A = this chain, B = another copy of it.
Amino acid sequence: MSSEQRAGAVEKQTGRLESFSDGVFAVAITLLVFNLQVPHLTGASTVEALRTALLKQWPSYLTFMTSFATILIMWASHHGIFKLVYKADTPFLFANGLLLLLVTVVPFPTSLVAQYLTTPAAKLACAVYAGVFVVINVAYNLLWWAAVRQRRLLLPAVTPRQVKRLTRHILLGLPVYGLATLLAFWNPYVSLGLCSCLWIFWAFTFYEGSRVGAV
């Protein structure tokens, strides 16, 4: 990863940790496809019957896209954190491990919402969905906190402004996902919509950020 060695004297030591994390992200994001199941037609296999069955699965398509986009943004944030870090200590490793555990969990609440979105149980399914992202956000905050405390793991070139910006960027998820968890018991669609808003917002702030430094 020669592109990461911009840091003059300090050498990056997180190569294998990054590539293992990338592997977990890549597998978890790809396993979301199991959410898309080929419908089993009970009657005749006509074009109309298949079309009806495929359209009826719209919650699967919706949650697949939302979860995919969210994991992708999470991967980009992970990448963003690791770009500022040149070595790992144990708290950082633990926080990263917790984060990876939670990333691999994402296909589970995704299936849960896909299966129950059109039933009365949607409220609980969407609360679990948003709740998992609350916990993931906590793990991100832990990871970032482990990286910045006493600046021990950060590359020398990282400015206080960059640290402050990323801190705000990551903390934002906590209240929003928390709100989405609560709102799920009122209206599951609003909760899902709020989760989607968040990754769209992150994508755009990410865009703003990328104008300043290199992506």
Instruction: Mark A residues whose CB is within 8 Å of B.
Output: 1-5, 11-20, 22-33, 36, 38, 41, 44-47, 49-51, 54, 64-65, 68-69, 72, 75-76, 79, 87-90, 93-94, 97, 100-101, 104-105, 107-108, 111-112, 115-116, 119-121, 123-125, 128, 203, 206-207, 210, 214-215
Contact = CB atoms under 8 A, between A and B. Distances in A.
Contact of A128 (B31, B54, B65): B54
Contact of A90 (B26, B87, B94, B206): B206
A117 B115 CA distance: 26
Shortest beta-carbon contacts, A-B, top 9: A23-B26, A45-B119, A3-B13, A27-B30, A50-B121, A90-B207, A36-B108, A1-B15, A45-B121
25 contacts: A2-B2, A3-B14, A3-B15, A13-B214, A13-B215, A17-B79, A20-B75, A26-B26, A28-B30, A29-B100, A29-B104, A30-B104, A31-B33, A32-B104, A38-B112, A45-B119, A45-B120, A54-B128, A65-B101, A72-B97, A72-B100, A76-B93, A88-B215, A90-B210, A93-B215
Nearest to A13: B3
A28 to B, nearest CB: 5
Give the secondary structure class of A's interface.
Answer: helix
A203 B47 contact: no
**Protomer copies:** 4
